[in-house]
């Protein structure tokens, strides 16, 4: 046989286990020869006949995959939904927290606030890409396990249906939460810059640490968006609570250390510093605890 | 007016399940790859060569066909023949086919 068939057979045998190679090769060559012979009998030109016969057989890689029983997809229908659900859960919980953590670390190290945010974004994106890559790799590997060959999707249980509204937080909550966070931040900035007496101590303001508050607000809004567009369950509630905890820890540390509030402001208020500190600490803790509990309540609504 | 693509897809779907039964019936007498392809085509079961050849191997692996190399003719050829298990499956599938035929006839006549 001429080299075209040889090339075809070589491609079609790729990845075929040793024990079957000889048998498949002989049969394939025989079938191609038969096809060519039939074409020659009908008067086709010899080189054309071979080309046409091979073209009719199609892409040898497909043939090899069929012979070896390899799937021609990365992740098939049986595993796909589990894959997307896991990916969504991991990305909506881990990535916001990583962003938060990286921001805190970046600010703590000092230096310009902009750079800390930039690096935090970079870290969050890297983590997101790693999560996506490794989850995909694991599922693709599982898809190729021998027992997955003819597996039908697992039986779906109606008990896992989420409660209505289908979006775990409704639009009013989303808009409300986002607005409150935005308004508070704007108020803070406005009072600081244009108010009679700045509330936050100038040292803290200038060092850019307050950008961290903006980061917290942004992550909080991010969680709300996740709850609206993607879905909200216990994993997301846990991540949300972790964020609340970080907020409390940082807020209390900064306030108790006397670094948060402006001395001029305290004088203007006329309250003793100890009292104001306690008030702020209690407010911060209550806010965070209320928020976290809300998160779990929302997640609970999912169960029947 | 039905679009060609839609028509082709549905016609392919209805024929897809019939190839295995057709092979099991035709191979009650020994046959080899290319000849089987031609026979199927002449009976009206259009099937791609790159679907049929791996299918024959799969059926052999499942014990529904037995294979033997024949070196008598000019070219060595692998002949398949329906095994007893294969004949049994052919019976079951044929009965299923008849039941479907009766059901369809009844549906059409009920109009």
Tens-place pLDDT, residues A9-52: 999 998 888 888 999 999 999 999 999 988 888 888 888 888 99
* Contact check, Cβ <8 Å, A57/B50: yes
Query: Which chain B residues touch A28 with a CB distance below 8 Å?
Result: 53
Same domain, A133 and A164: no
Distance between CA atoms of residues A171 and A229, nearest Å: 10
pLDDT for position A164: 62
Give CA–CA dist B31/B77, Å, rounded: 9
Q: Which residue has the higher pLDDT, A146 or B106?
A: B106
A41: tokens are 């009998």
A290-A215-A226 Cα angle (round to 5): 65
pLDDT at A304: 34
DSSP alpha helices (H): ranges in A42-170? 46-57, 60-68, 77-108, 113-143
Query: A133, A68 in Cβ contact below 8 A?
Result: no
Does A205 lie in the same domain as A122?
no
Q: How far is A267 from A182, CA to CA, in rounded Å?
A: 28
ipTM: 0.85
Contacts of residue B91, Cβ cutoff 8 Å, sequence gap at least 6: none
What is the Cα–Cα distance from A222 to A89, expressed in whole angstroms? 14
Mention every residue, 6+ apart, whose C-beta is less than 8 A from residue A221: A177, A178, A181, A182
pLDDT tens digits, A281-303: 888 788 888 888 888 877 776 54
B76 and A24 within 8 Å at the Cβ level: the answer is: no
Tell me: the pLDDT tens digits for A202-241? Answer: 777 666 667 777 788 888 888 878 777 777 777 888 888 8
Range of the domain at A36: 3-68
Average pLDDT of chain B to the nearest whole number: 90
- Do residues A113 and A211 share a domain? no
What is the distance in angstroms between the Cα of B104 and the nearest Cα belonging to chain A?
A: 28
How distant is the alpha carbon of residue B32 from its chain centre?
A: 13
Average pLDDT of A96-124?
85
pTM: 0.70
Distance CA A166, CA A302 (A): 9
**Residue A9 confidence (pLDDT):** 92
Nearest-CA neighbor of A240 among A213, A214, A219, A271? A219
Same domain, A48 and A165: no
Q: What is residue A8's predicted lDDT score, i.e. its pLDDT?
A: 93
The domain boundary, picked from A15, A49, A68, lies at A68
Residue A175: pLDDT band (50, 70, 90) is confident
Hey, is the C-beta of B54 within 8 angstroms of any chain A C-beta?
Answer: yes
pLDDT at A151: 66
Give the domains, in start order, of chain B with CATH numbers: 4-109 (1.10.10.10)
Domain count, chain A: 3
Predicted confidence band of residue A126 (pLDDT cuts 50, 70, 90): very high
| pLDDT over 50 (residue B80) | yes
Looking at the structure, do residues A11 and A40 belong to the same domain, yes or no?
A: yes
| Nearest-10 crossing angle of helices A113-143, A211-225 | 30
Q: Give the pLDDT score at A170.
A: 66
Confidence of residue B56 (pLDDT cuts 50, 70, 90): very high
Q: Would you call A26 an interface residue with chain B, using a CB distance cutoff of 8 Å?
A: yes
Query: Contact A71/A191 with Cβ under 8 angstroms?
Result: no
Contact B53 A38 (CB under 8 A): no
Cβ atoms of A179 and A242 within 8 Å: the answer is no
Last residue of a domain, one of A133, A156, A179: A156
């Amino acid at each position: 046989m001429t080299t075209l068939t040889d090339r075809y057979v070589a491609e079609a045998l790729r990845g075929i286990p040793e024990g079957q190679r000889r048998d498949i090769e002989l049969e394939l060559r025989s079938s191609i020869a038969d096809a060519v012979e039939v074409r020659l009998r009908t008067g086709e030109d010899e080189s054309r006949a071979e080309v046409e016969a091979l073209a009719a057989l199609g892409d040898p890689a497909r043939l090899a995959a069929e012979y070896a029983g390899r799937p021609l997809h990365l992740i098939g229908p049986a595993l796909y939904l589990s894959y997307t659900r896991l990916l969504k859960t991991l990305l909506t919980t881990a990535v916001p927290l990583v962003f938060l953590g990286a921001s805190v670390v970046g600010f703590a190290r000092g230096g310009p606030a902009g750079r800390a945010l930039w690096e935090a974004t970079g870290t969050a994106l890297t983590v997101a890409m790693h999560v996506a890559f490794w989850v995909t790799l694991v599922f693709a590997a599982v898809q190729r396990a021998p027992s997955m060959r003819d597996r039908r999707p697992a039986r779906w249980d109606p008990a896992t249906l989420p409660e209505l509204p289908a979006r775990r937080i409704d639009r009013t909550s989303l808009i409300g939460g986002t607005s409150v966070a935005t308004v508070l931040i704007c108020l803070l900035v406005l009072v600081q810059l244009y108010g009679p007496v700045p509330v936050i101590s100038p040292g803290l303001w200038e060092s850019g640490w307050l950008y961290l508050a903006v980061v917290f607000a942004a992550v909080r809004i991010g969680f709300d968006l996740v709850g609206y567009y993607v879905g909200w369950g216990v994993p997301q509630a846990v991540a949300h609570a972790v964020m609340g905890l970080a907020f409390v820890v940082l807020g209390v540390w900064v306030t108790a250390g006397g670094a948060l509030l402006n001395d001029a402001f305290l004088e203007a208020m006329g309250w003793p510093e100890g009292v104001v500190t306690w008030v702020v600490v209690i407010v911060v803790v209550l806010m965070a605890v209320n928020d976290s509990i809300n998160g779990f309540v929302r997640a609970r609504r999912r169960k029947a | 007016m039905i679009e060609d693509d839609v028509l082709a897809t549905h016609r392919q779907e209805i024929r897809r399940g019939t190839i295995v039964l057709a092979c099991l019936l035709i191979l009650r007498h020994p046959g080899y790859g290319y000849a089987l392809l031609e026979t199927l085509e002449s009976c009206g079961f259009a099937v791609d060569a790159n679907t049929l050849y791996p299918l024959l191997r799969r059926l052999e692996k499942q014990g529904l066909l037995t294979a033997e190399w024949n070196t008598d003719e000019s070219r060595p050829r692998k002949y398949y023949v329906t095994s007893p298990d294969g004949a049994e499956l052919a019976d079951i599938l044929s009965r299923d086919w008849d039941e479907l035929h009766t059901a369809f006839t009844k549906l059409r006549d009920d109009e």
